[in-house]
Amino acid sequence: MPSYVVRSQARFFVDKLALVRGSLPLVDAYLQAGLDALGDATRMAIFQKLASGPIAVSELARKLPVTRPAVSQHLKVLKDAGLVADSKAGTRRLYRLNPEGVSRLRAHFDLMWTQAMASFQATAEMKTPGEKHVKHSGRSRRT
């Protein structure tokens, strides 16, 4: 949204979005937070266990070599990163993967994979100067 700066009766239009766009690369804050969160081995283990379905904190703590309060702290980091959601089930809170956060990570890695494969293909298809394409017959050279 454009903003205006008023100085001594003169108005100046300031396009804040253009200023940010011109000096900084676009960064998806939730993507970066998700990647940072999964950089911890315990959080990655929790994330992987949640892939099988909703789990309560106490059940996660029994399956991991960390305390229940530590699991809760790790779940908070994952939730703040948008990778985990929770819901109340009676007296317990069940945690599950957040499909939006997982989709964001998947889209990021799909794009990286596509770019890497395109680069690999371009490199593999490049011919160096003076290189001749040698066509091999279907026969093996072994005798």
% residues pLDDT > 90 (the chain): 53
Write down all domains in the chain, each with its CATH number in brackets: 28-117 (1.10.10.10)
Helix (H/G/I), strand (E/B), else coil: 136: coil
By the 8 A CB rule, do 127 and 133 touch? Answer: yes
Confidence of residue 6 (pLDDT cuts 50, 70, 90): very low
List, for residues 97-139, the tens digit of each pLDDT value: 999 999 999 998 899 899 999 999 999 888 766 666 656 566 6
Q: Starting from the edge strand earliest in sequence, which strands make up the sheet with 92-97, in order?
A: 55-56, 92-97, 84-89
pLDDT in the model for residue 143: 54
* 131: Cβ contacts below 8 Å, ≥ 6 apart: none
Task: Using a cut of 0.85, tell me whether the model's pTM lies above it.
Answer: no
- Residue 32: is its pLDDT beyond 50? yes
